[in-house]
Chains A and B, each alone.
Chain A
Amino acid sequence: MDLEKKTGTGRCELMGRKNNELLRTENLTKDFGKLRAVDNLSLSLEKGEIRGLIGPNGSGKTTVVNLITGVYRPTSGGVYFSGRRIDRLSPDNITHEGIMRTFQVARVFADMSVLENMLIPAFTQGTSRREARHRAEELLDFCLLGKLSNEPTRNLSGGQTMLLQIVRGFMRQPLKLYLLDEPFAGVHPAIKDVIINTIQKMNREEGVTFLIVSHELTTIRRLCSRISVLHGGGVISEGTMREVANDPRVIDSYLGG
């Protein structure tokens, strides 16, 4: 109940489903000099959901991902993961909490092979080489990258590189929350389908929760049961795609209102 009061101070009214909460941002604010990129944001994610985060350019979507993953420190407010405050942790420690992320420009290791890229996240989690390799091969096969596993990563296409970046995140075990920043941008439709299938499979089979930042509304509609709309660094609307699409504030924000 206390939480409802706190989230009520944000711009969105959360729907009161708190028992299963995995991630919560509380009055999260980030300033870059005089620019306020994230403004008093209160967002809550349930375990096992696939949440879409949409909004016009410059609305603060990537900054939110950067704040949750420790790349930026918030100016004020906090990030709580499974009830534990994480906004003072470094990115590597946040990864150890079971949170992974991707970047708009894929952060792969270009001079390593596809398989070596997959093995990197297993390094610090005490998985044996054999186990790690087995899981990597399974994941690569599922994503149709199996044949490329010994290929230097710099030879992959843009879409394959993005796919690899996404699949690599699943090497972290247990993976509880996965933040995908524009995973479909510039990706061939065939690869996009593979990404969607992978997200759905990992959500269904391993219970991974997703927060997906994207401009691709049709794909977001296909994947996400709930969507949060960001504008001016705060959530202006939240609900199903139908609900947010009919919200006049959302329409205004996209039309420059």
Chain B
Amino acid sequence: MVTIDWTLLSQYIISGVVIGLIYSLMAMGITFIYGIMRIINWSMGEFYMIGGYLQYIIITHFLGVENWYLGVLLSMVGVFLLGMVVQGLLIKPMFQGSVERRTEYATIVTISLGVLFTNVAVIGAGPFIYSPPGYYHGTRILTLPVSGTRFVAFIGTIVLLSLFYLFLKKTWWGRAFQGAAQNRMGIQTAGIDVFRLDQIAFGIGVALAAAAGALLAPEFYLHPRCGSIATMKGFEIIVIGGLGSIPGVLCAGLLLGLIESLGAVFLNPSFRDVYGFLFLLAILAIKPTGLFEERERVA
């Protein structure tokens, strides 16, 4: 007879919830950009990486680790501006003209951009792994002893996702974004510049990735490819949750975290990532549009 250690199980459940929610931040960025522009930004991992490096530079050279939260905000602002510039220079012109297959173009641009950023990081940071000091002392979430950084990242993610939700639901800009996601021509003929919305949405999306990078920097270390795991999880989450769906992101993020965590307990911890992918395959087989299918946008 198998006996279950309930304390250990609850720790794994909480650990799954924590990591799942943090990965949701990344997925939220991907899905928000997709919701407005209908493009996938394949360079999200690199914006995550840039967010991490910015945070490292800000807190180790300027603000000090005690001001880590200001560092996260400044990293987000920096990456937001970078995203706006990149979108304005490389993607916006394709959307303004009558270029065909612009989503394919955006795919190539964002993949190339990822390669460029990675190589710039290789040149800038050299063959070293960096890690900012932890943000907070070790603590507990219910039964789970967690590292201070992971705790802070968890709380930071809840705050950022709540602010993002309030922004979407309670502000004029949020309404405009919702409108653009539902009916692009409708929002344009209502007098709103959709190309401006695209640019801001891209900036916000990559700033969310940067927040994940900055929050997790002490936990997962910084190197030029450090965003790849978070990107992979982000894409898993949006496929499971349904591309373009915000509730889907949250739900799928939590589910993915739980499944990986519980798989690690009951099966084998070495194949942690495989459980998430098996779950993804099961969802694709049962409900290919994801758990929360987004309604088709009117062009």
A residues within 8 Å of B by Cβ? Answer: 69, 71, 90-93, 95-96, 100-101, 103, 105, 107-112, 116, 119-121, 123-125, 129, 168, 172
Smallest CB separation, B247 vs chain A (Å)? 12
Residue in A90, A93, A123 whose CB lies within 8 Å of B190: A123
With A120-B175, A120-B176, A120-B187 in contact, is A92–B194 under 8 Å at CB? yes
Task: Say whether B191 contacts A112, CB under 8 Å.
Answer: no
- Assembled-state Cα–Cα distance A103/B188 (Å): 13
With A92-B194, A107-B183, A107-B298 in contact, is A112–B178 under 8 Å at CB? yes
CB of B93 closer than 8 Å to a CB of A:
no
Q: Which 5 A-B pairs have the closest CB atoms?
A: A107-B186, A95-B191, A121-B190, A91-B188, A124-B191
Smallest CB separation, B166 vs chain A (Å)? 16
Task: Say whether B193 contacts A92, CB under 8 Å.
Answer: yes
Across the two chains, which residue of chain B brings its CB closest to A94? B189
Task: Say whether B187 contacts A71, CB under 8 Å.
Answer: no
Task: Say whether B189 contacts A101, CB under 8 Å.
Answer: yes
With A120-B175, A120-B176, A123-B176 in contact, is A108–B186 under 8 Å at CB? yes
Residues of chain A lying within 8 A (CB to CB) of residue B176: 120, 123
Task: Say whether B178 contacts A172, CB under 8 Å.
Answer: no
With A92-B194, A110-B295 in contact, is A69–B189 under 8 Å at CB? yes
B residues within 8 Å of A by Cβ? Answer: 172, 175-176, 178-179, 182-183, 185-195, 295, 298
- Assembled-state Cα–Cα distance A124/B187 (Å): 11
Task: Say whether B175 contacts A172, CB under 8 Å.
Answer: no
Across the two chains, which residue of chain A brings its CB closest to B173? A123
Task: Say whether A123 contacts B191, CB under 8 Å.
Answer: yes
Residue in A96, A111, A129 whose CB lies within 8 Å of B178: A111
Q: Which of B183, B189, B192, B295 has the most CB of A within 10 A?
A: B189
Residues of chain B lying within 8 A (CB to CB) of residue A92: 188-194
Task: Say whether B179 contacts A120, CB under 8 Å.
Answer: yes
Task: Say whether A108 contacts B183, CB under 8 Å.
Answer: yes
- Assembled-state Cα–Cα distance A102/B179 (Å): 16
Task: Say whether B191 contacts A116, CB under 8 Å.
Answer: no
With A123-B175, A123-B176 in contact, is A90–B193 under 8 Å at CB? yes
Task: Say whether A123 contacts B172, CB under 8 Å.
Answer: yes
Smallest CB separation, B197 vs chain A (Å)? 10
Task: Say whether A109 contacts B178, CB under 8 Å.
Answer: yes
- Sample of 15 more A-B contacts, CB < 8 Å, known A91-B188, A95-B191: A91-B185, A92-B188, A95-B189, A103-B185, A107-B186, A107-B298, A108-B186, A110-B295, A111-B178, A112-B178, A120-B187, A123-B175, A123-B176, A129-B172, A168-B190
Smallest CB separation, A153 vs chain B (Å)? 9
Residues of chain B lying within 8 A (CB to CB) of residue A168: 190
- Assembled-state Cα–Cα distance A113/B232 (Å): 36
Residues of chain A lying within 8 A (CB to CB) of residue B188: 90-92, 95
Residues of chain A lying within 8 A (CB to CB) of residue B179: 109, 112, 120
Smallest CB separation, A90 vs chain B (Å)? 7
Residues of chain A lying within 8 A (CB to CB) of residue B193: 90, 92-93
- Assembled-state Cα–Cα distance A229/B178 (Å): 39
Residues of chain B lying within 8 A (CB to CB) of residue A105: 298
Q: Can you name 25 A-B pairs with beta carbons within 8 Å?
A: A90-B193, A92-B190, A95-B188, A103-B186, A107-B183, A107-B189, A109-B178, A109-B179, A109-B183, A109-B186, A110-B183, A110-B295, A111-B295, A116-B175, A120-B179, A120-B187, A121-B190, A121-B191, A123-B175, A123-B190, A123-B191, A124-B190, A124-B191, A168-B190, A172-B191
Smallest CB separation, B182 vs chain A (Å)? 5
- Assembled-state Cα–Cα distance A95/B185 (Å): 12
Across the two chains, which residue of chain A brings its CB closest to B297? A110
Residues of chain B lying within 8 A (CB to CB) of residue A110: 182-183, 295
- Assembled-state Cα–Cα distance A129/B190 (Å): 16
- Assembled-state Cα–Cα distance A120/B191 (Å): 9
